[in-house]
Amino acid sequence: MEAPRGIFFFAVLALLLRSSPNCFVAAAAATDSPAAAVLVRVDQSGKGDFRRIQDAVDAVPSNNSQPVFIWIKPGIYKEKVIVPADKPFITLSGSNAVSTVITWGEEWNSVDSPTVSILASDFVGRYLTIQNTFGEGAPAVALRVAGDRVAFYASRFIGFQDTLLDDAGRHYYSSCYIEGATDFICGNALSLFEKCRLHSVSRSGGAFTAQRRTSAEEETGYSFLQCKLTGVGAETAVLGRPWGAYSRVVFAFTYMSNAVRRGGWDDWNDPINRRTAYYGEYECSGPGSNVAGRVDWSRNLSSDEASRFVTKSWIDGQDWLRPPPGQFKNWRG
């Protein structure tokens, strides 16, 4: 289970750093193991290596080739964070998502508008809250993920419209909380969401997803496995609508509250999308999961049809998902 393991890991890390930080990092540095990560501490009080998260990211060299573990002490960090494409192998980690918050409040004006933008490959995010407080009225992205081989664990993404721009690349989200109203998971990545909670704050006309696959040849789409869908009202949101004509979304073994509209899916006012969108459900439960009332162009998947969507091989995860580092080396910036 991810959360208990994380709590234990950070409790031990905090104890070692608090009692004898120099001895800890020196001992870790003595092992030149490839699995050892460079430890960088962000602390608003000035007791770490940096006060701001972006400063810690900026200090990582371009074309980085070793794991860098940026440990963010609890606090509310009012800043925009960009992990650029030339800085792979970075982990941003809090100790607890509730106490480690990255926040901003800006509508979508440019690619620099999101609160956090992940453009690098081989990135990991853990135990973070990332939010955009702009509110209603326009797209306002909390998190944009456009790097390949990106994973988030036990984190929270909070906004209203387009909360999570799951833009491009292969991604994995485990035990995350995602909140919004309009198309609040959107983009054209190939992603697996496992044991996540999706919470709609829409009062009417909401949509959990807006996936943007534009052709049958594109290997993109969203799979939701063992997730939970909730909302603030009954029949207030559809499972998805096609941002791209070949939009592909599957929900499997997922609990759906009565927030899900009976029809399940929407064609975004274009009947042509019904011919090409791939929207499927498999063995879901809860009052919003009754497929008898679904639009006739969605799919009630067979076990064979669902099989490709319900394992990490959907995102080639067996090749790139990795455990947290077990050893650390001193930051020498």
| Active centre residues (catalytic) | 162, 183
d(CA 100, CA 107): 22
Residues forming a β-bridge with 333: none
Question: For residues 277 and 291, what is the distance between their CA atoms, to the nearest angstrom?
Answer: 17
CA nearest 309: which of 241, 220, 239, 243?
A: 220
Residue 27: CB partners within 8 Å, gap ≥ 6? none
Six token digits for residue 168 = 């491009």
The encoded tokens of residue 57 equal 């990211």
**Rg for the chain (alpha carbons), in Å?**
20
Closest CA relative to residue 240, chosen from 197, 273, 203: 273
Cα–chain center distance at 231: 19
- Give the bridge partners for 68, in sequence order: 38, 90
As a whole number of angstroms, the distance between CA 269 and CA 258 comes to 23
Burial class (CB in 10 A: 0-12, 13-18, 19+), 296: exposed
Pairing of strands 328-329, 37-42: parallel
Residue pair 255/225 in contact (Cβ under 8 Å)? The answer is no
| E strand spans, 196-317 | 197-200, 206-207, 209-211, 221-225, 228-231, 237-238, 248-252, 255-256, 278-282, 299-300
